[in-house]
Amino acid sequence: MAGVVATIAREPKSLAGRIAKDMIISGIIVFLLGSQLIGIETIDDPKGLRFITRYDDVLAAALAVALGRAGLQMLRAGMAKPVLIGSLAFAVAVIGSTLIGGERDLSLLPFDNKIVDWVFGLTAVVFAIRAAVVHGRGSASAHRRGAVMDKISAQTQRFSPYAAGLMILLAVLLPVLFPERRIVDMGILVLTYCMLGWGLNVVVGLAGLLDLGFVAFYAVGAYSYALFAHYFDWSFWACLPLAGAMSAFFGLVLGFPVLRLRGDYLAIVTLGFGEMIRVILINWWWFTGGPDGIRDIPRPSFLGLPFERESPDGSATFHSVVSPILDSMFGIELEFAPLHRIVYLYYIILVLSMVVCVFTLRLRRLPIGRAWEALREDETACRALGINPRNTKLTAFAIGAMIGGFGGAFFATRQGFISPESFSFIESAVILAIVVLGGLGSQLGVVLSSTLLIGLPEVFRELADFRMIAFGAGMVLIMIWRPRGLLAHRDPTVLLHGKAGLKRSNRAMASEGSG
């Protein structure tokens, strides 16, 4: 035993030796890590806890990690070809067998869960792509990769006006092209998160304030609307600005004392604030309904016309008014359909999110926006230039909160029911993940990542269990590979030389590397 340990401890001379050592060590570590948490599943019976073992899974995980490490080491040593061939063969075999199997489990891998097969297959694909890149270019240094990604981001930025136009067109036409409840619902969800993402982007991306309690403002907005509607019977449109104002006010109240704290302290305090709001909502039951939440929140009406088959007091509904008009003008019969309300909600959130998008884009180009970014870069220098750090941060915080409040009010009217459960920390984390993954400060990045993070799991329902674990892993990986996010590219807000200046700016950034 001692001999084995000594052999492993010595630095091996040959490459093969190094790789083998790396494989053994990482395999052993993963095996030990999984030995209890994966290897032994606790099951609670009425009689007490018992357990079953799953050591095949632990072994598979250890093997997979060892193989992955070997591949990485070989890539680092420049041996791209064997990795390429190996990973391609593996990927084809695994994905192929899984696909052919269909509903049955024909996969070559011994897992019960098909998603695990997919994870293995796709990981192999990623390896193959990297190997191909290394094979083609000769090196895969982090610096090179960063530069390439920067270039892609800059290109995306350049085409973003066209891309945005196309996306808006697509978004407007979506309910017409796919008049299905599931798809329109998904569109609503993605747009809601886009809007929240743009709001948080002001705080985190521009001003550099890590806010982990964003959901608190979302909750304040939702409850403002729900409570105003509940106690005073106010309509959605009257409450929407109110909800925003309430959230902004909460943002100011919280921000005033804590915004001078350093970045990571601020993060924890905002996190605590988010939890406080939730605890208060749960325990202030006579006012907020406690854990049961608030039911029967009114749905938004179209110019005062509700979306119902027949209104209870016999007054006009959307359908009863619009249908004759359409009939007389275009000869179209409009049947009552619950989808109308969903589509209407969809357009509300589309307009809201577009307003937020334009608003935040404009803010960025104003003195206040530049001051936010300057504050993110260097607070001390800002003070020396006469910029009031506290007020500047407060505006960012309050504007972010306001947008969160709008989102919350919309959430309340869409669901018709809210409870404190919807406003847990994980919601903040999801919105933060959207901002971080897309690229801090990038408007388009938010769209990309909310489509990825919110849209994809909705499409692949089986993935739902794995969604949060992928979130977490994704956040770590993005920080390692590309800390400023996928589409992290910053165009100056004002140019001296116009387009030529923009080009020079991009070139200078690319030559600097990913930073």
Residues 424-443 that bind other proteins (CB under 8 A): 425-426, 429, 432-433, 436
Using alpha carbons, select from 35, 34, 52 the residue that is nearest to residue 43: 52
* Nearest CB to other proteins, comparing residues 2 and 49: 49
Smallest separation, CB 362 to other proteins (Å):
5
Burial string for 12-37 (b: 16+ CB within 10 Å, else e) reads eeeeeeebbbbbeebbeebbeebeee
* Nearest CB to other proteins, comparing residues 331 and 386: 386
List the one residue from 49, 176, 303, 329 that touches other proteins (CB under 8 A): 49
14-22, 156-164, 386-394, 412-420 -> range binding other proteins (CB under 8 A): 386-394
CB 207 within 8 A of CB 372: yes
Q: Is residue 268 at the binding interface for other proteins, with CB under 8 A as the rule? A: yes
List the one residue from 33, 59, 125, 334 that touches other proteins (CB under 8 A): 33
Angle at 472 (CA atoms; ends 118, 266), nearest 5 degrees: 165
Contact positions with other proteins (CB under 8 A) in 111-170: none
Cα(128)–Cα(192) distance, integer angstroms: 36
List the one residue from 17, 388, 416, 460 that touches other proteins (CB under 8 A): 388
- CB atoms closer than 10 angstroms to residue 323: 16
Q: Is residue 504 at the binding interface for other proteins, with CB under 8 A as the rule? A: yes
Q: Is residue 43 at the binding interface for other proteins, with CB under 8 A as the rule? A: yes
Residue with tokens 């070989």: 74
Cα(468)–Cα(43) distance, integer angstroms: 22
Q: Is residue 378 at the binding interface for other proteins, with CB under 8 A as the rule? A: yes
* Burial category of 385 from C-beta neighbours within 10 Å (exposed 0-12, middle 13-18, buried 19 and up): exposed
Q: Is residue 291 at the binding interface for other proteins, with CB under 8 A as the rule? A: no
Contact positions with other proteins (CB under 8 A) in 297-356: none
Contact positions with other proteins (CB under 8 A) in 62-121: none
* Nearest CB to other proteins, comparing residues 186 and 382: 382
44-52, 67-75, 130-138, 334-342 -> range binding other proteins (CB under 8 A): 44-52
- What is the secondary structure of 314-354 as a DSSP string? S---HHHHHHHHHHHHH-------THHHHHHHHHHHHHHHH
Cα(230)–Cα(293) distance, integer angstroms: 12
Smallest separation, CB 144 to other proteins (Å):
17
Residue span 182-221 as binding mask against other proteins, x where in contact by CB under 8 A, dash where not: ----------------------x---x-x-x---------
Smallest separation, CB 466 to other proteins (Å):
7
In the chain, the N- to C-terminal Cα span, in Å, equals 46
Angle at 304 (CA atoms; ends 301, 307), nearest 5 degrees: 40
194-202, 238-246, 266-274, 317-325 -> range binding other proteins (CB under 8 A): 266-274
* Nearest CB to other proteins, comparing residues 169 and 366: 366
- CB atoms closer than 10 angstroms to residue 510: 17
Q: Is residue 367 at the binding interface for other proteins, with CB under 8 A as the rule? A: yes
Name residue 148's amino acid.
V
Give the sign of the dihedral formed by CA 159, CA 160, CA 163, CA 169: negative
Residue span 464-483 as binding mask against other proteins, x where in contact by CB under 8 A, dash where not: -xx-xx-xxxxxx--xx--x
List the one residue from 99, 276, 316, 456 that touches other proteins (CB under 8 A): 276
* Nearest CB to other proteins, comparing residues 187 and 208: 208
Using alpha carbons, select from 166, 169, 14, 119 the residue that is nearest to residue 77: 14
Cα 305 to chain centroid distance, Å, stands at 35
Q: Rounded to the nearest 5°, which phi and psi values hold at 83?
A: -65, -45
Smallest separation, CB 404 to other proteins (Å):
18
Smallest separation, CB 259 to other proteins (Å):
10
Using alpha carbons, select from 229, 387, 198, 347 the residue that is nearest to residue 295: 229
101-109, 176-184, 237-245, 381-389 -> range binding other proteins (CB under 8 A): 381-389
